[in-house]
Amino acid sequence: MSLMEDIQRCVDLQIPEELPVFCLSQEFDAKYCDLTYAEYISTPESIIRCQLEVMDKFGWDWAWLHVDDTLEFEALGVGVKAGENIVPATCDYLPFDSKTLARLKVPNPQNSARMPLLLDAIAGLREACGDEKCITGRVAAPFSAVTLTFGIEETMFKLADDPDLVKDALKFGEEQAVSWGLAQIDAGAQALWYGDCNASTHMISPRQFEQWALQPCKRVCEAFKEAGAFVFLHNSEEQIAGLRLQALTEPSVLSPGPGLDMAEVRRELGERIALMGNVDPIGLLTEASASQVAAETDRLVRMMATGGMILNSGECVPREAKAPNMHTMHDAGRKVWDLVCGRR
pLDDT tier, 308 (very low <50, low <70, confident <90, very high otherwise): very high
The three-class DSSP label of residue 308 is coil
pLDDT (0 to 100) of residue 85: 83
Do 183 and 109 meet the contact criterion of CB atoms below 8 Å apart? yes
Q: At residue 144, what is the residue type? A: S
Using DSSP, how many helices (H) and how many strands (E) does the chain show? 16, 9
Do 235 and 161 meet the contact criterion of CB atoms below 8 Å apart? no
Q: What are φ and ψ of residue 247, in 5° steps?
A: -65, -25
pLDDT in tens, 241-286: 999 999 999 999 999 999 999 999 999 999 999 999 999 999 999 9
Do 298 and 328 meet the contact criterion of CB atoms below 8 Å apart? no
Ranges assigned E (strand) in the chain: 62-64, 79-81, 89-92, 134-140, 191-195, 230-234, 253-255, 274-279, 309-313
Domain ranges across the chain:
3-341
Q: Using the predicted structure, report yes or no on whether residue 306 has a pLDDT greater than 60.
A: yes
Closest CA to 177 of 157, 199, 156, 205: 199
Q: Could you give the angle at the alpha carbon of 287 between the alpha carbons of 286 and 291, nearest 5°? A: 95
pLDDT tier, 343 (very low <50, low <70, confident <90, very high otherwise): low
pLDDT (0 to 100) of residue 205: 96
For 42, left (φ over 0), alpha (ψ -120 to 50), or beta?
alpha
Residue range 172-178: average pLDDT? Answer: 98
- How would you label 262-296 residue by residue, b for 16+ Cβ within 10 Å and e otherwise? beebbebbbeebbbbbbbbbbebbbebebebbbeb
pLDDT (0 to 100) of residue 232: 98
pLDDT in tens, 94-121: 999 999 999 999 999 999 999 999 999 9
CA distance 105 to 64: 28
Q: At residue 177, what is the residue type? A: A
The percent of residues in the chain predicted with pLDDT above 70, rounded, is 99
Closest CA to 270 of 302, 304, 297, 230: 304
3-state helix, strand, coil in the chain (%, to 5): 50, 10, 35
Residue range 130-151: average pLDDT? Answer: 98
pLDDT (0 to 100) of residue 173: 98
Q: Could you give the angle at the alpha carbon of 51 between the alpha carbons of 47 and 55, nearest 5°? A: 180
Q: Using the predicted structure, report yes or no on whether residue 84 has a pLDDT greater than 60.
A: yes
- Strand 79-81 relative to strand 89-92: parallel, antiparallel, unpaired? antiparallel
Average pLDDT, the chain: 96
256: Cα within 13 Å, side-chain hemisphere: 27
pLDDT (0 to 100) of residue 83: 81
pLDDT tier, 138 (very low <50, low <70, confident <90, very high otherwise): very high
Residue range 20-46: average pLDDT? Answer: 97
Architecture of domain 3-341 in CATH? Alpha-Beta Barrel (3.20)
Q: Using the predicted structure, report yes or no on whether residue 82 has a pLDDT greater than 90.
A: no
CA distance 197 to 315: 11
pLDDT in tens, 198-219: 999 999 999 999 999 999 999 9
The three-class DSSP label of residue 132 is coil
Q: Using the predicted structure, report yes or no on whether residue 21 has a pLDDT greater than 80.
A: yes
